[in-house]
Amino acid sequence: MSPRSTSAAAPLDVSEPPVVVNQGRGTHGVHRSEDVFQLPQLWSLHLYAYAADLEVDGVAHAITPGSVSLVPPASLIRYRYRGPSHHLYAHLRAPRLAAGPDGAAASRLSVLMHPGADLPRIAELMESAVASAVARPERTRADVWTVLLRLADRPEALAGRPAGEPARGVPDYVAATVSLVESRLAEPLTVPEVAAAVGVSPGHLTRVFSARTGETVVGYLRRRRVEHARHLLTSSTMSISAVAASVGIPDLQAFNKTCRAVTGRSPRGLRAEGGAG
């Protein structure tokens, strides 16, 4: 089997908006478990809502929910699905950059990326790009360009591999976990489910995640839910019960306990910070 990798794609020029040739929602893995194809002249940008195996020019990549791929034109693409698989996509026409002698340009964007905490905004932009395609194609172009810029602005894309980052060819379970959690804050989620989605055992994921971030997977999930709840409580008039449900803690007693544990304040106390009704 081909080695898994997060290798850099051929560098894409993001200094100007790309031409979006096609965009939409894709559903695969229904009638067959494998697709093999090429886009001779177009870049392929995907935001995934499933786990699958992607192979680009013979190099394997592990797709997890919330991951993003950017595949250069003329690449041989092979997908192996594990059931019905849904994604948002855009096919682009854009120039390549000439990689500099230090190879820095080639490290800006990778074939497979994990947006982490930036995932909700990237998902929103991809949804907007699809919805605007007919009535506002200029918005679609702007949305897709913004997605590329946000991906290029990730710290690891700008500075190379940061301290503690896995070497190339080693799956980044931490980034994949962050992306998955961000995409499913409103859903019930357990460590075994996260571990299965990113392709590692629960024990190993717990050790790697704690070593890299200083907190457990459960702790990260709880903190991000409370941070999202705090935003909704202080910037909207949503009811406390609606906020609790929107961050995956519909039981009000549990929601109150979680908010106090993370912030020292009750949901009503958090709401008072922003003066929302």
Domain limits of the chain?
Answer: 19-159, 184-277
Which tens digits make up the pLDDT trace of 44-87?
999 998 889 999 999 999 898 889 999 999 999 999 998 889 89
**Rounded Cα distance, 210 and 15, in Å:** 37
Which tens digits make up the pLDDT trace of 150-186?
888 775 554 444 444 444 434 578 888 887 888 788 8
**Rounded Cα distance, 47 and 68, in Å:** 5
pTM above 0.85, yes or no: no
Of residues 73 and 11, more confidently modeled: 73
Q: DSSP code of 82?
A: S
Closest Cα partner for 175 from 80, 68, 78, 55?
A: 68
CATH 2.60.120.280 fits 19-159, yes or no: yes
Which tens digits make up the pLDDT trace of 220-257?
999 999 998 998 899 888 899 999 998 999 999 999 99
Number of C-alpha atoms within 13 angstroms, CB side, residue 65? 19
User: Residue 108 has what pLDDT?
Assistant: 62
CA dihedral 35, 40, 45, 46 (to 10 degrees): -10
Which tens digits make up the pLDDT trace of 25-50?
888 888 889 999 999 999 999 999 88
**Rounded Cα distance, 57 and 222, in Å:** 39
CATH 1.10.3720.10 fits 184-277, yes or no: no
Angle at CA 43, nearest 5°, toward 49 and 120? 35
User: Residue 13 has what pLDDT?
Assistant: 81
Does 7 have pLDDT greater than 60?
no
pLDDT-derived band of residue 265, with 50, 70 and 90 as boundaries?
very high
Through-space distance between the first and last CA atoms of the chain, rounded to whole angstroms? 57
